[in-house]
Amino acid sequence: MPRSIRLLPILALFCSGALTALAQVPDYARDPHQAIDESYTAAIHKYTTEPEFNSPLTDYLPASKSVPTPAKVLGDVSGAPNMLPYAEDVYKYFRELAAASPRVRVVTIGHTEEGREMIAVAVADESLLAHQKENDERLAKLADPRTLDMDDSKAAPLIAESTPVYYITGTIHSPETGAPTALMELAYRLAVDDSPYIQYIRSHVITLITPVVEVDGRDRMVDIYRWHKANPDKTYPHLLYWGHYVAHDNNRDAMTMNLALTRNVLNTYIGWHAQVLHDLHESVPFLYDNTVGDEPYNSWIDPILTNEWQMLGWSNVQAMAKLNMPGVFTHGDFDTWSPGYLMFLAAMHNGISRLYETFGNGGADTVERVLTPDEYARTWYKPNPPLPKVLWSQRDNNNYEETALLTTLSYFAQNSKLFLNNYYLKSKRSILKPTQNGPAAYVLSADNPSPSRQAMLLRVLHDQHIEVQQTTAPVTVQLPLKPKSSDDAKSSNDDQEATKGSRAEGASARAVSTFPAGSYVIRMDQPYSRIADALLDRQFWSPEDPQKHPYDDTGWSLGPLFGVDTARILDTAILKAPMHLVVDPTAPSSAASLSGDTFLIENHADPSLITLRYQLPNATVTATDAAMTAGGHSYPAGTWIVRGISGGDLEKAAAPLHLHAVAASDAPSVVAHPVSAPRIALMHTWLDTQPEGWWRLALDNLHLPYTYISTQTVAAESDLRSKYDVILFAPVGRGSQLILNGIPMWGNAMPWQKSDLTPNLGGIDSTPDIRPGLGEAGLTHLRAFIQQGGLFIASQDAAEFAIDTGLAPGVSVAPRGDVKVVGSILNTALVSKKNASLSPVLAGYVAAPAVYSEEGLSFNVSNLLTGDGRLRAEAKTPRPTGRGGPDDPDVPQDRSFAEPPSLPKAKPWEPMPLTVEQTRNNPFLIPEQDRPQVLLRYADSKDLLVAGLLDHGDALAERAAVVAAHLGSGTTLLFAINPLYRGETIGSYALVTNAILSYQPPK
């Protein structure tokens, strides 16, 4: 309260115009003295299919004697039919525009994975651009109020003098094709149009534009469109490989920032100290400004932002309503829970996130579009709904995009001081987090057992521009006392399993905690505390939430997902501990010199170990089968023993991976098994390349050598075993039938390869026809590969495919019951073999990892090829009506009681034990050594949820999550979870890398 009172004079001084503007934005009027470009204007009218799909802001183009219009580069107007420019042509236009106008500047903001350039274009009055550096210095201070001593009176003059930056990004989703041409024309209008309305925008806002966010995907999309135009009667392939790695998910990378485009956009947003990040998409008719969206809203944002969303969203709808453009709305079914969207980078960095969905045709064809009843229904938030059936053009789409952006830029310009003041306030309140709502900090302890996984998490925080500090002395903090529950008291460990999670936190109910010197501290009294808190906190999505269709994942807690302890500290004493800012928290500590000929490296389920293995092809590496002691230090099972390499060479390879090698004083005597570096193939389909793209990214980030093959390659290769030891099959998301059969063979071939028409296709993989699937031949080859000793690893629906096609004897998909999981993080438990040893797949896992479950898949295992269904039903047979209680035996009268043999019992993850009767002369009985082995199961019901939505978890609790099935001499390793997901599941990566490293050729 006192703070807002203090701010009132500031608003009165500098925002008086803004406050009146809130009530009234001036209507648009063209400058009567400025000539229009007649031919360009005529083309706009020609390509707009109905007058109501245009507005007075875009139904003409002002003429300029010196500044080129988009037609100069495009050969036609923006949004013209049958024309999609490559990114290079879009850039060419912006550079010609910048060369001709002092109101336009173009900068390179980075490159994509495939080396294509990304740009940003600034448009504003020449005087603003000439003094952009000074403006930016002021904005930088508002972005970090610590530089102003948190003093509002020092911020006020800066707000008064500064111009905000409104950052617009186009075509992150490559099949959503309209934004680049709309943004070309928008920049021209902002630079050239002399109407007071436009002049006001360019003198009060710096409009920053990245016309193409997904440049690799844009160029491939243009290729596809060119092929379509050259083959007008043929079916053309849908766009595979948008970016180098992923498709639609490039808009889910804003948490872990694995893609170049995410890092480049955030660096630009932060580097320019922008106040808004507004991302352009295309899907629903005709303009869904999902700035307002629907609940639940993200829990970590500043309430100021939620109000800014309402102001911007509803004012935009109001402006469009005045222009009578149908189908514009801002409330809709998009929830703003997950911070994974590109635009949300702004929401999490003290700005404003916005997103438009306009109506696109997936190319530049003008076509009839038939809407669904829910799309054209009139509702309270859509009083002027879209029309049920329309002829729709790319120009229509461009009109909507430009009109909406111009009206919103006008509103933002009219209220620029208010939004700058809010920007300052949000930054300040982020710094006040420890004393307002907490926490004070997160601590990543220096004694973390896995510095390599910890470094991977620090990399994420670093890329998010979060300040990381490191303590120089031990620090002790108070912990909140947890109420001791009976669950806490119960030991979780028996011989068979160990679980991790909430119980581990509460078990000892410590009053204080001490972190050693060198621990990393993520202070919450910093400008970007919100994103740190959002990433490291836990999430809970209530099963009772009114929103029944979460738009994306409901949980993402990065500490558990990375398997890294991130202590959430409320005690502000942590902030007084001696510490210093770490410039690059991912930099490896300096390497100690190693001498000797035998070295030990502890295994803490570090994915980096596989990188090291492939970097040391000539070294001999074994892993211990049991714990041991050497040099007074105890080493867990799975510890690596490395020989055949010099200490210097080992240290050179290990240090950058944050792996710690020590020289063994004497040769360890414990039993060990070889750690191999097998030949890996990653198999993809031509149906969808996205989930496998995240797997590809994981393998590339780990610098693994692998061969990238398709199901068609497998269909053509009769002897897979001679080439590969391990084949990985990521989730496909399309089910077994399509994996096997592919796309129907009626119609024409659909090539995916480089040609004169399509120079950007085929770089990752190519085929003359994407339609054929794995087929019977491919399945036969895959089966032979496993039978001959290969290791086949499959996840989610790819695992279901392996089950459906007989590649995983004894494993079936468990009935889901009424369990509800939507992209949640769940706890697991390790399952050991009968002799209590763990599989090498679980090496390094002292506690079981928290895992990502998309929708609650789990497995049943059986000793019978035909499954346990009937046996489980028998075990559940209730006693009949009769004497005694429900647990008493039924006793027939007038004969001696015959004790029935006890019915089989098994835990949910175990196969049912078989009676003699069931095994006798049973051809479906799987030989003992070939029975499936459960390695990882879901945790008990009460411990199952880590983060996100879980409803009716009993149906999933304790069921098998990772199973090794056996076929011939080989193994099919099945994951009900996705272990390599969006670069987020670092803690479960080692389940895959361990499996690869433990591959052994059959004897």
Tokens of 648: 């210097």
Residue 767's SS3 state is strand
- Residues numbered 174 to 193 that lie near Zn ion (CB under 5 A) are 176
CA distances for 328 relative to 175, 397, 550, angstroms: 22, 12, 23
Which of 173, 426 has the CB closer to Zn ion? 173
Q: Which helix (H) or strand (E) holds 633?
A: strand 633-635
Tokens of 264: 């480049």
* Closer by beta carbon to Zn ion, 173 or else 244: 173
How far apart (Å, rounded) are the C-alpha atoms in residues 248 and 881?
A: 58
Residue indicated by tokens 């994915």 = 607
- Least spacing, CB of residue 510 vs Zn ion, in Å: 47
The one-character DSSP state at 902 is P
Residue entry with tokens 């290729």: 223
Q: Which stretch binds Zn ion (CB under 5 A): 170-178, 380-388, 642-650, 805-813?
A: 170-178
Q: Quick one: 175 or 585, whose CB is closer to Zn ion?
A: 175
Least distance in Å: CB of 330 to Zn ion? 17
Q: Which is nearer to Zn ion, 281 or 503 (CB)?
A: 281
Nearer to Zn ion, 259 or 623 (CB): 259
CB of residue 292 vs Zn ion: minimum separation in angstroms? Answer: 18
DSSP 552: S
* CA-based nearest residue to 164, from 351, 431, 398, 439: 351
CB of 253 to Zn ion, least distance (A): 13
**CB nearer to Zn ion: pick between 694 and 938:** 694
Q: How far is the CB of 355 from Zn ion (least distance, A)?
A: 8
CA–CA separation, 451 vs 801, rounded Å? Answer: 37
**Which is closer to Zn ion, CB of 40 or CB of 551?**
551
Backbone angles phi, psi at 237, to 5 degrees: -65, 145
Q: How far is the CB of 171 from Zn ion (least distance, A)?
A: 9
CB of 769 to Zn ion, least distance (A): 28
| Residue 938, both tokens | 């879901």
* Residue 126 φ/ψ, nearest 5 degrees: -55, -35
Minimum CB separation of residue 175 from Zn ion in Å reads 8
> Least distance to Zn ion from the beta carbon of 340, Å?
13
Helix H or strand E encompassing 317 = helix 303-322
Residues 874-893 that bind Zn ion (CB under 5 A): none
**In angstroms, what is the minimal distance from the CB of 279 to Zn ion?**
8
Residue among 281 and 783 whose Cβ is closer to Zn ion? 281
Query: Counting contacts by CB under 5 A, is residue 354 touching Zn ion?
Result: no
> Applying CB under 5 A, does 218 fall inside the site for Zn ion?
no
Distance CA 335, CA 331 (A): 10
- Hey, which residues does 970 pair with through a beta bridge? 967
- Site size with Zn ion, rule: CB under 5 A: 3
User: Whose structure tokens read 């079936």?
Assistant: 812
Per CB under 5 A, does 173 bind Zn ion? yes
Work out whether strand 352-358 and strand 276-282 pair parallel, antiparallel, or are unpaired: parallel
Is 357 in a helix, a strand, or coil?
Answer: strand
Those residues whose C-beta lies under 8 Å from the C-beta of residue 740, and which sit 6 or more positions away, are 773, 774, 775, 776, 779, 801, 805
Instruction: Write each residue from 264 to 303 as x if it is in contact with Zn ion (CB under 5 A), else as -, in one continuous string.
Output: -----------------x----------------------
**In the complex, least distance from residue 174 CB atom to Zn ion, rounded to whole angstroms:** 9
215 vs 444 by CB, closer to Zn ion: 215
Q: Using CB under 5 A, which of the segments 166-174, 438-446, 846-854, 913-921 binds Zn ion?
A: 166-174
Q: Encoding tokens for residue 554? A: 């409901």
Contact (CB, 8 A) for 196 and 29: yes
Q: Which is nearer to Zn ion, 242 or 337 (CB)?
A: 242
C-beta of residue 28 within 8 angstroms of C-beta of residue 197: yes
Residues 646-665 that bind Zn ion (CB under 5 A): none
The residues facing 729 across adjacent strands are 683, 794
Nearer to Zn ion, 250 or 988 (CB): 250
Q: Which stretch binds Zn ion (CB under 5 A): 16-24, 167-175, 188-196, 284-292?
A: 167-175
* Binding to Zn ion in span 91-130, by CB under 5 A: none
CB-wise, 252 or 281, nearer to Zn ion?
281
- Compare residues 281 and 937 and give the one whose CB is closer to Zn ion: 281
CB of 172 to Zn ion, least distance (A): 7
Smaller CB separation from Zn ion, 212 or 610: 212
Q: 281 or 660, CB closer to Zn ion?
A: 281
Spatial separation of the C-alpha atoms in residues 292 and 355, rounded to whole Å: 9
CB 402 within 8 A of CB 57: yes
245 close to 318: Cβ distance less than 8 angstroms: no
Nearer to Zn ion, 176 or 396 (CB): 176
Is residue 296 reached through a cis peptide bond, with omega within 30 degrees of 0 on the bond before it?
A: yes
Cα–Cα dist 1000/1003, whole Å: 8
What is the closest distance, in whole angstroms, from the C-beta atom of residue 214 to Zn ion in the complex? 10
Taking the complex as a whole, the smallest distance from the CB of residue 400 to Zn ion amounts, in Å, to: 15
Of the ranges 21-29, 173-181, 204-212, 625-633, which one interacts with Zn ion (CB under 5 A)? 173-181
CA distances from 559 to 90, 340, 985 (A): 41, 16, 10
Closer residue to Zn ion, CB minimum distance, 93 or 286: 286
Q: Report the alpha-carbon distance of residue 931 to residue 911 in Å, rounded.
A: 9
Which H/E stretch holds residue 222?
Answer: helix 215-230
Kindly state the smallest distance separating residue 282's Cβ from Zn ion, in Å.
6
> Residues with Cβ < 8 Å from 779, sequence gap 6 or more?
740, 805
Per DSSP, the three-state class of 785 is helix
Q: Which amino acid is at 782?
A: L
SS (H, E, C) 44-57: HHHHCCCHHHCCCC
Please report, for the chain, how many H helices and E strands are present, in that order. Answer: 33, 39
Q: How far is the CB of 507 from Zn ion (least distance, A)?
A: 45
Give whichever of 362 and 932 is closer to Zn ion, judged by the CB atom: 362
Encoded tokens for 627: 């714990």
From the list 172-180, 261-269, 333-341, 382-390, the region that binds Zn ion by CB under 5 A is 172-180
Do residues 202 and 448 touch, judged by C-beta distance below 8 A? no
Radius of gyration of the chain measured on its C-alpha atoms: 31
Tokens representing residue 316 in the block: 């935009």
Nearest to 543 by CA among 822, 151, 917, 266: 822
Give least dist CB 375 to Zn ion, A: 17
Q: Which stretch binds Zn ion (CB under 5 A): 171-179, 200-208, 497-505, 771-779?
A: 171-179
- Smallest separation (angstroms) from Zn ion to the CB of 417: 32
**What is the DSSP code (8-state) at residue 62?**
B
Q: Which residues bind Zn ion (CB under 5 A)?
A: 173, 176, 281
